[in-house]
Amino acid sequence: MPDVQTLVNEFLFKLKKRKIEGSHATARQTTILLRSVISQQRIPYTHQAAALIDAVKAVGEQLVAANPVELAVGNIVRRVLHIIREEDLSPTTVAIAGLNVSAVSDDEGDTDHDDHPVLSAAAVAAASRNTLRPPSLQTLLEDLPDSAAVPHTSSSGGDSEGKSKSADKSSRSRRLKHDVIEAVNELIEDIDTCHEQIAEQAVEHIHQNEVILTLGSSRTVLEFLCAAKEKKRSFRVFVAEGAPRYQGHLLAKELVARGLQTTLIADSAVFAMISRVNMVIVGAHAVMANGGVIAPVGLNMVALAAQRHAVPFVVLAGSHKLCPLYPHNPEVLLNELRSPSELLDFGEFSDCMDFGSGTGSPLLHVVNPTFDYVPPKLVSLFITDTGGHNPSYVYRLIADYYSTDDLVLQRKPAPVN
Amino acid sequence: MAPKRIRARAVSDDPEDLARVPLQAVLLADSFTTRFRPITLERPKVLLPLVNLPMIEYTLAWLESAGVEEVFVFCCAHAKQVMSYLENSQWKSLPKFSVTTIESHNSISAGDALRLIYERNVIHGDFVLISGDTLSNMSLTRALQEHKERKKKDSNAIMTMVVQRSKPSPITQQSRLGTDGLFMAIDPTTKQLLYYEENTNHSKGTLSIDKMLLVDNTSITLHNDIQDCYIDICSLEVLSLFTDNFDYQHLRRHFVKGLLIDDIMGYKIFTHEIHSSYAARVDNYRGYDTISKDIIQRWTYPLVPDVLSLGNSATKLERQGMYRSSEIGQSRSAQIGPHTVIGTGTTIGSNTKITNSVVGKGCTIGSNAVIEGSYVWDNVIIEDECELRHAIVCDGVVMKSRSVLKPGVVLSFKVVIGQNFVVPPYSKVSLLKQPTKQDSDEELEYADNNSDTLDSAATGTMDKLNGDPLLEFSEMEHHVSSELGYGGVGYIWSLCEGSHEEEWRHSVAPIPAEKLAEITQVIEDDLELVSQDSNAPASSGELKPDTQINAEDDAVYFEKEVEATFLRAVNENVEVDHVILEVNSLRLSYNMQAADCAGAIFHSMMKLALDAPHSMQNELLRNVHNTVNAWQKLLKSYLPGKDEEIEVILKFEEICLESVKELSPLFTQILHLLYDKDIITEEAIEDWESEKKDADEADRVFVKQAEIFLQWLREAPEEDDEEDGE
């Protein structure tokens, strides 16, 4: 137990000190942390899922508070909660199916043994899809009887029966935990492979002799472009340098190393160059529920330029970047103001930061925001690991990945105003 | 538990790789100065809040993020407070980061601290030396790597000093951090530090460097645009050096300069310049102000309030650099301006204006108050219509309604300011009385920092206040109600001798316009001189052999030298001829005129006369008489003509007007005396009078005073003429 706590504290500290950069790394590490939280969590006989959900929520709340700007943390916490809920619903069906399988396999030979699991697995999948995939109202309705059923079974039964029940229970609880961990492992794998998943679709989008524009650097974009290159597509890339961090320089270097025809331009030259561009492909920090994008600073300008010249504006985002929140809330739409030293050399400008003379208040104020908000109407297409989607479809995608119960992570009710 | 584990691992790694020793740091949680008095009498400097967080938090956060694994915090003054703070802080529970405190009660300087740490034998390799009031966001890896590589090549490279370039103008240096100008000579290729001089004298425009530096090094760059960040990467030798040289006290003044001068051991110091990162040390109130504003402007990212905020008091950054914590009660009509930080649980009344300020936790601010450029710490009560401009207000202060703090005021803990009371500019107010012994020498100031008497007095007062507030307050009120207005509690500290001039330099208030103009003037003069003298670059560049002489300064020095010579002559009964010889040599070396010598000698004579014991003006006059009698030969030897004599009279006037007011009533008598002794001729006096004819009224005071004498003088020659005629 203390081990998890130290792990959590360490991770919190890293998040706080902004030591983990990028939503991909953050998402991955959050998932790994939550996995260990789940595996260390003691589960009571009753309300197993509820106990797990509480534990994950408690940790998740701290994580989100540690760096509210990094939305991927919240996304992953919600994803894991959703996984727990999903696994909590499926055991009943799985258990029935499992009993059937064991009963049948005891009696019959190998030939049938091959068939049944397939059948039952398909049935389980169908059942779980039935219970979970439909919109929230139905899941809510099905949730209630399930949780009511658990205490009912535990209360009934005598001594010997109770023992066997509890043994069964413990195995069931182990299975729940096991299943959840399995599913979380899958999630980690998903996050790891999201670049490749997205890159696989590259050829469908990039055509021969096209000109692609991108801004700043994104690993997803790099892999996407390289995948198209590997499939023998020949095209050119314009890279806007992405001031003030100039990560575009790094991207250009990488692209050239992979043998792509690359042109580096200043951010301010985007509008001049956009008329020669066939498609804009960029990465994102987060995709909001309304299809809006929180992206590195400068992208709104690029999106507007693209709209003006009717150039498709394509956003690549792994599914961990899908955020089930809407950007109306100022609590959500946070920006990170980074150090002005990325813009100015402190030594050279130290006389402008001179508070001793004059009125004591500085006349020079440097603002260095990290993110832009690109409204959904400027985005032509999202490419996620599950395929291409319209901005207006994002809310449906989100319903697949998240449970509506988890949208608000704070356990405390909001203060009454 | 944590340190043990780390050490165990380090030991196991030792055989395979020596470099894998955990990086250690020594953090001096005591500045060994008294710049922050009276606040530091009650709380150690490192625990003073800087934008609502104790300074040591910033230092530790940086050390942690820079990859330091073991920190030894050296506590001296208020050691208990520092230790209990660290005990309850987040730093104790972090893995891979251990904080160990070392307590001392008799260390009076950084030198003593390092000697003690050496005795403890806890440092095993290279370590970072930093004081608890330094904050930075630089990355140590490069500096550390450079240091290690140099050390491998040359075992004498024992220290790397982190420096930062700032705008090459001394005015910025002074007005930003309130520190003195700093001159460094650095080898441009190896980055070795060759010369280090803190220019303590602002009027001094010259700098002398050993010419051997030029002989030994092919090229030198001289910098006055470099700021010392007070972050050092040291090798183990540094500690042993401190032990060997037990008189080393100050890190820079003794240690660095000692190493630079000492060429026997051949130890070398190198510099590491940081460009985009931030590093600065809170040295005084002005630095406190500037660094607070830098933090608010996010130069120290990620060490900024919304990232660092502790516990549940999440701070949010809003537009225009406003940081607001949760649970603030703010009236709708209150105007909170740009670059302001408001702490948790603070309430602000209607129509109150707050700009460019930091307000701590749990403060209560009434309505119609004005807070501008001020630092209000925790749990302060500011009643209606108070005005605070560029002030520091410590925890628990109560400002009764309509009280006013003028720029530069510092209110220490739990002071109460009475109604309608106006605290004068630059005053420091504390519940504790000013210590009676004031050491003007900074070296000695260390001494009383660790005196436990003050400490106990502080806690004693606190206890009393807490224990029986009503009684104590009424008692206090009785005593000091006059000093801080009706109902006020506390003592206004008198400004110590000589530092009055310095108050504006080191306070949080912006430098007054006239002072600023003064500094600029001095600098411009210097620059003009430089450009006249040669084409030497103004800021920093290759060393040129020319000396930039500031004529006015030289005159002052010359006068002092002459005076010293003269006094020695008086005390040791040196013959007049010898004195003349000495003064002549001085005259040659400073390139002065005879008139200057005469003026200087006359000045010294008057000083001598004045220094002799006297109670009445008559006695003073007799003293002057004696002195003139004894030394008239010396004076005469510099008075070959009328011009020199006029110079003496002018000098005399100047003395009477400026330095020695006592002499002014005797002006006429002394003038007469000089005339009688044939030191000053009649023509000279007449010329002086005619010269003064066109001067304005203020200049003619002495002419008027001498009117009768002049009258007599004018009549006398006529008589003479008549006599001659007859």
Q: Distance of CA B382 to CAs A144, B364, B579, Å?
A: 55, 6, 66
Handedness of CA B223, B226, B228, B232 (dihedral sign): negative
Per-residue pLDDT, B208: 73
Phi and psi of B152, rounded to 5°?
-65, -40
Contact indicator for A87, A146 with CB cutoff of 8 Å: no
Residue with tokens 């209630």, as numbered in its chain: A144
Residue whose tokens read 């007062």: B461
Best mutation site among A345, A357, A371, A412 for testing chain B: the one with the most B CBs within 10 Å?
A357
Quickly state the pLDDT bin for B691 (edges 50, 70, 90).
Answer: confident
pLDDT at B368 over 70: yes
More confident residue, B661 or A327: A327
Q: How confident is the model at residue A49 (pLDDT cuts 50, 70, 90)?
A: confident
Inter-chain contact B289–A355, Cβ cutoff 8 Å?
A: yes
pLDDT average, residue stretch A170-174: 63
pLDDT at B722: 44
Query: In angstroms, rounded to a whole number, what is the distance separating the alpha carbons of residues B158 and B138?
Result: 21
Say whether residue A411 is in contact with chain B using an 8 A CB cutoff: no
B125 DSSP 8-state letter: S
Task: Check residue B571 and give its pLDDT.
Answer: 77
User: Which of A361, A368, A370 best probes binding to B when mutated, by most B CB atoms within 10 angstroms?
Assistant: A361
For residue A360, the model assigns a pLDDT of 66
Mean pLDDT computed over A138-167: 44
The gap from C-alpha B263 to its chain's centroid, in whole angstroms, comes to: 30
Least confident piece of the model among A365-379, B108-122, B443-457: B443-457
Which of these ranges, B10-19, B46-55, B228-237, B668-677, has the smallest mean pLDDT?
B10-19
Q: Hey, is the C-beta of A326 within 8 angstroms of any chain B C-beta?
A: no
pLDDT score at A113: 43
* Contact residues on chain B for A345, CB-CB shorter than 8 A: 275-276
CA distance B164 to chain A (A): 7
Residue count of chain B, please give it. Answer: 726
* Cβ contact B81:B44 at 8 Å: yes
Q: Which site among B163, B167, B271 would you substitute to test the A interface, given the most A Cβ atoms closer than 10 Å to its Cβ?
A: B167
Average pLDDT over residues B460-477: 42
Span B49-57, average pLDDT: 90
Cβ(B606)–Cβ(B663) below 8 Å: yes
The pLDDT of A34-61, averaged and rounded, is 84
pTM score above 0.90: no
Q: Regarding predicted confidence, which is higher, A269 or B10?
A: A269
User: Exposed, middle or buried, B524 (CB in 10 Å: 0-12/13-18/19+)?
Assistant: exposed
Rounded to whole angstroms, how far apart are CA atoms B132 and B231? 11
Q: Do residues B711 and B668 make contact, with C-beta atoms less than 8 angstroms apart?
A: no
Q: How far is A356 from chain B (nearest CA, A)?
A: 4
Interval B338-347 mean pLDDT: 90
Question: pLDDT by residue (tens digit) across B481-494?
Answer: 557 778 788 888 87
Q: Which residues of B604-629 are buried (b: 16+ CB within 10 A; e: fewer)?
A: bbbbbbbeeebeeeeebbebbbebbe
Helices (H), B257-364: 257-261, 285-296, 305-308
Q: Is the peptide bond before A244 cis (omega within 30 degrees of 0)?
A: yes
User: How many other C-beta atoms lie within 10 A of the C-beta of residue B577?
Assistant: 11
pLDDT interval class at B672 (50, 70, 90): confident
* Residue A320 structure tokens: 């961990």
- What spatial distance separates the first Cα and last Cα of chain A, rounded to whole Å? 38
For residue B436, the model assigns a pLDDT of 65
**Mean pLDDT across A400-416:** 70
Amino acid at B528: E
Q: Over 80: is that where the pLDDT of B191 sits? A: yes
Per-residue HEC secondary structure of B163-214 comes to: EEECCCCHHHHHHHHCCCEEEEEECCCCCEEEEEEEECCCCCCCCCCCCHHH
Predicted confidence at residue A272, as pLDDT, reads 95
Reply yes or no on whether the pLDDT at B186 is more than 80.
yes
Take residue B439 and report the two structure tokens written for it: 């050491």
Contact B622, B671 (CB under 8 A): no
Taking residue B16's Cβ as centre, other Cβ atoms within 10 Å add up to 7
Q: What residues contact B605, with CB distance under 8 A and at least 6 apart?
A: B566, B627, B628, B631, B635
Per the document, the length of chain A is 417
Residue B215: Cβ within 10 Å count: 8
Q: How far apart are CA B308 and CA B303, in angstroms?
A: 6
Residue of B nearest to A9 (CA): B94
**Which residue among B294, B301, B308 places its CB closest to the CB of A353?**
B294
A355 vs B178: CB contact, 8 Å cut-off?
no
Q: What is d(CA B268, CA B157) in angstroms, rounded to the nearest whole number?
A: 5
What pLDDT, on a 0 to 100 scale, did the predictor assign at position A380? 95
- For residue B254, give the DSSP letter: I
Residue B603 scores a pLDDT above 70: yes
Between B708 and B292, the more confident residue is B292
Pairing mode of beta strands B24-28, B70-75: parallel
**Dihedral sign from CA coordinates of B2, B8, B14, B16:** negative
Q: Region B571-584: what's the mean pLDDT?
A: 78
User: Which of B172, B310, B318 to mutate to test binding with chain A, by most A CBs within 10 Å of its CB?
Assistant: B172
* Residue A22: both structure tokens together: 């990028």
pLDDT, one tens digit per residue, over B118-153 is 888 888 888 999 988 898 988 888 889 999 999 888
Q: Nearest-CA residue of chain B relative to A62?
A: B312
Q: Is A349 on the interface with B (CB under 8 A)?
A: yes
Question: In chain A, which residue's Cα lies nearest the Cα of B319?
Answer: A367
Give the span between the Cα atoms of B194 and A298, in whole angstroms: 46
Give the mean model confidence (pLDDT) for residues B200-224.
73
Other C-beta atoms lying within 10 Å of the C-beta of residue B263:
10
Instruction: Report which DSSP code applies to B655.
Output: I
Instruction: Give the DSSP H/E element, type plus range, for residue B75.
Output: strand B70-75
Least confident of A89-98, A144-153, B393-402: A144-153
Alpha carbons A186 and A179: distance in angstroms, whole number: 11
Half-sphere exposure of B616 (CA within 13 A, CB side): 3
B168 compared with B575, residue with greater pLDDT: B575
* Range with top average pLDDT, A172-181, B108-117, B481-490, B636-645: B108-117
Q: Is pLDDT at A201 greater than 90 in this prediction?
A: yes
Tell me the C-alpha distance between A383 and A399, whole Å.
17
How many Å apart are CA B208 and CA A55, to the nearest integer?
69
Residue of A285, A286, A280 lying closest to A307 (CA atoms): A280
Contact A9 B516 (CB under 8 A): no
Give pLDDT tens digits for B376-425.
999 999 999 999 999 999 999 999 999 999 888 999 999 999 888 998 88
Measured between alpha carbons, how far is residue B114 from residues B44, B148, B240, B280 in Å? 19, 21, 9, 22
The more confident residue out of B673 and A102 is: B673
A330 reaches B (C-beta below 8 A): no
Checking if the pLDDT of B453 tops 60, the result is: no
* pLDDT of A280: 96
Question: Contact at 8 Å (CB) between B168 and B64?
Answer: no
- Asked if the Cβ–Cβ distance from A13 to B301 is below 8 Å, we say no
What is the average pLDDT value for chain B, to the nearest integer?
Answer: 77
Cα–Cα dist B503/B523, whole Å? 20
DSSP A117-176: HHHHHHHHHHHHHHHHSS-HHHHHHHHHHHHHHHHHHHHS--HHHHHHHHHHHHHHHHHH
Taking an 8 Å cut-off on Cβ atoms, the answer to whether A360 and B176 are in contact is: no
Question: Is A345 near chain B, with CB under 8 Å?
Answer: yes
Local confidence band at B313 (pLDDT 50, 70, 90 cut-offs): low
Q: What integer is the mean pLDDT of B417-446? A: 71
Q: How far is B205 from chain A (nearest CA, A)?
A: 22
CA–CA dist B95, A50 (Å, integer)? 31
Cross-chain CB nearest to A65 (options B178, B314, B511): B314
Question: Residue A162 to residues A50, A153, A156, A170, A175: CA-CA distances in angstroms?
Answer: 22, 10, 8, 12, 19
pLDDT for residue A129: 47
CB A206 within 8 A of CB A228: yes
Give per-residue pLDDT as tens, A223-275.
999 999 999 999 999 999 998 889 999 999 999 999 999 999 999 999 999 99
Q: Using alpha carbons, select from B309, B149, B322 the residue that is nearest to residue B233.
A: B149
CA B359 to centroid of chain Cα atoms: 27
Cα–Cα distances (Å) from B160 to B11, B135, B255, in that order, read 26, 17, 13
What confidence score (pLDDT) does residue B4 get?
Answer: 40
Question: Which one-letter amino acid corresponds to residue B520?
Answer: T
Cβ-defined contact of B510 to A338 (cutoff 8 Å): no
- Range of lowest pLDDT (A312-321, B514-523, B532-541): B532-541
* Binary contact (B275, A368; C-beta < 8 A): no
**List of chain A residues whose C-beta atoms are within 8 Å of the C-beta of residue B225:** 347
How many residue pairs bridge chain A and chain B with CB atoms within 8 Å of each other? 118
Counting residues of chain B whose pLDDT is more than 70, the rounded percentage is 78
Least confident interval from B424-433, B448-457, B645-654: B448-457
Is A359–B510 a contact, with Cβ atoms under 8 angstroms apart? yes
Give the model's confidence band at A414: pLDDT under 50 very low, under 70 low, under 90 confident, else very high.
very low
Instruction: Assign A203 to helix, strand or coil.
Output: helix
Q: Give A45's DSSP letter.
A: S
> Residue B531's pLDDT band (boundaries 50, 70, 90)?
low
E strand segments, B241-368: 268-274, 279-281, 315-318, 322-325, 329-330, 335-336, 341-342, 347-348, 353-355, 358-359, 364-365
Test B338 with A365 for CB contact under 8 angstroms: yes
Cβ-nearest to A337 among B61, B317, B510: B317
**What is the predicted pLDDT for the residue at B12?**
40
**According to the per-residue pLDDT averaged within each range, which of A102-106, B11-15, B264-268, B459-463 is highest?**
B264-268
